[in-house]
Structure 1
Amino acid sequence: MSSLFDNIKPLTIGQERLINVLKDDSNEVVGVFGPTGTGKSFITVIYGISAVLGGKFKRLIIARPLIDITSGRLESPEELGDLYYRVAGQYLYDIMGDMVPRDDMEKMLRDGKVIVTDVNYLRGRTFDESLILLDDAQHAPPENAAEVLMRMGRNARLIIAGDPILQRPLGIEKDGATLMREVLLNEERAMVVDLGLKDIVRPGAKRGLKLMFELRLRKRSLSDEERKLVDTIRVHAPDADVVTVASFRDIKESLEIKSENAPDALIVAKEGYLGRVVGKGGERIKAIENDSGFRLIRTVEMSLDFRQWIRTMHPVGWITKHIVDVDFAGPELQVMLRKEMGAFVGPRGVYIRLLDRAFKRLLNIGVRAIEEGQPSESK
């Protein structure tokens, strides 16, 4: 193989694992999932270009959905004509930067050694001596990836990359990336690599991710009692910037949670404004509780420190000292514990279910827990 891929230096542990998985030829299918900015497309495309230049594969086929960001509609080459291929090709140039001279890249495209196309290209064909990258899989019908698995021929390899966390289409519980990840976890000669917040390396990506989460929270539809809580906050903390509020009383009732430390509601404040919600000595939050009818209200700043979110919402206050790490694994937040799994999960699993339902209500993200040293879902 060309030295192009060998020159890639991983910047995180997750990226190092992805590079090692790609170098292992026994992994016929590789799935890599995580938020934007973690290097999914960059690393996999560089691998593909290197593999073609080095003669390992005759061609690299990059299939990715092209989405109209205004309407959310999936565009096709038939509808856009040459514009589709110009936009799709620019994606490749943006990724490669100066890694490969533009003239060389254009020649590979002209010669058919690199093909950038839509996901429907994968249907009804047999792929020999080809590397197929299905990128932005969260926007692709899972059937497309499943079909290409059946049509992989001699010396063929499939890579599926996607963001099942933030970029998945709204209103869909299981997008293409999430479903394909679930399938690949138990597929022979397949490997899944999950990248998380700690793997974000692109400048500005973390800030952008935080803003996207904040926008998602601000757009939430509030229930009547949540709107009443917002009105009460405006009375007692008029200078506070509140991102959203969430009531958990219905969740607690359905789970039959009796703990007095389980919050009835959560207030998410803009970073830097938490003190204005709580007030000096906590007088503001106490007044909000008294006037709103919520017995226990917890508060948290809008940040990507989800360890603090867990600490704020979990009924057992001391449990956070046993939390080793909180990060994304596929479409969920994965909480790794040093010990005290029972205390974290709670009697009959009610605490973990409270967290899971609360995060789904807030961010459409689930929560799972594993013990330190226990293998993650990803293989």
Structure 2
Amino acid sequence: MALSRWIFLLSRHLVRADEQVALGQAGQKTADLGHVFQVQGWIPRQDLPRLTCFAEGMGLATWAESPTSDDSPPTLMTNPDVLAGGEDLVTFYETPGYRDWDPSVVVFFSFAIFFAMILADAGYALVLGVLLAVFWKGMGSRPSSRRFRVLAAVGLLFSLLYGMLAGSYFGAAPPPDSLLAHLHVLNLDDFDTMMKVSLVVGALHLILANGIVAVRGASIAERAKPIGWIAIILAGLSLYLGAGTPVGRDLGLGLGSGGLLTILLLSSERPLDSFGSLLLRLFDGLSSLAELSKLFGDVMSYLRLFALGLASASLALTFNQLAAEVYRSDVPLGVVIALLILLLGHGINLLLAIISGFVHGLRLNFIEFFNWSLDEEGYPFAPFSKKETAL
């Protein structure tokens, strides 16, 4: 506490040190040739009018050109303020390449859905929602905290809706014939159904990833390969969901065969001008099909949504049963002990669910989704500017 009086002074010195480093880096991009001084750098296209106006006012000359294929420009990610929390999630792991796409909006909503499926309890969502409402105003002091509170609000809204569908309120089911009971359509103890739900969510997530790659593809090979993977994913879903039915079997085999042939024959960029090139193209196709095992493992990885949600619900139910047994027993201070079991048990379970929701909700985006949708990693755009500290 005594040393806290130096925080502002230390902050000023830290800002000055950061500015000196930035100035040194900018100085490496300048040329001083006699009476001519040149500086080169990257600038967002929308800021070019400001640069032009400044140059005219100072009597300077400017030249602007778009990046070429030999350049490696930084990545500037711009999203609406409401959805900018997804940008923070993306850059937590990596910055997409300049020529790649911005997955911030997709990650924003997919993370919220995954967090809801892992939390799997409407009561927990309400508790976290009340805490968010209490700290909402205080979280508006910085842009990063403002973005996070919007992301948290959307995630908790999805968690509340999913918890109502799962019929779990602090591990307890709603009263029979009540409105909440009618909203209870998912049974977490129905392993077969919940596994199907998790796998469908995972398959749709990877279909979206490959679909984006196919839309952005510039050549036949760049589009054919992700389309083939989409067909294979749909084939697996058809065989799994339609097991034992002729329609599911025929549709699955047809989609699977079409997807395999598409990847085998069309996923290579080699020109087809000889028998040798045909063999090389087939070899490239076979090499691409080696990713089939990775695709299977990535889809199966989404089963963690069901497993973690079931674990959270099971722990909540266990703590409720322990508290009820103590309450009905002849133990002295049974009511107090039962309340302590409920508070501590659900507090620990809620903390574990939050950690699991963040870790695995991000992991499914960073590992599975990014592997199928992003090709290269870039570096963030850092504007050269003076920095300020808040008093």
Task: Give the alignment's TM-score, normalised by structure 1.
Answer: 0.25
Q: Which has the larger radius of gyration?
A: 2
- Greater relative CO, 1 or 2 (CA 8 Å, sep 6+): 2
TM-score (norm 2): 0.24
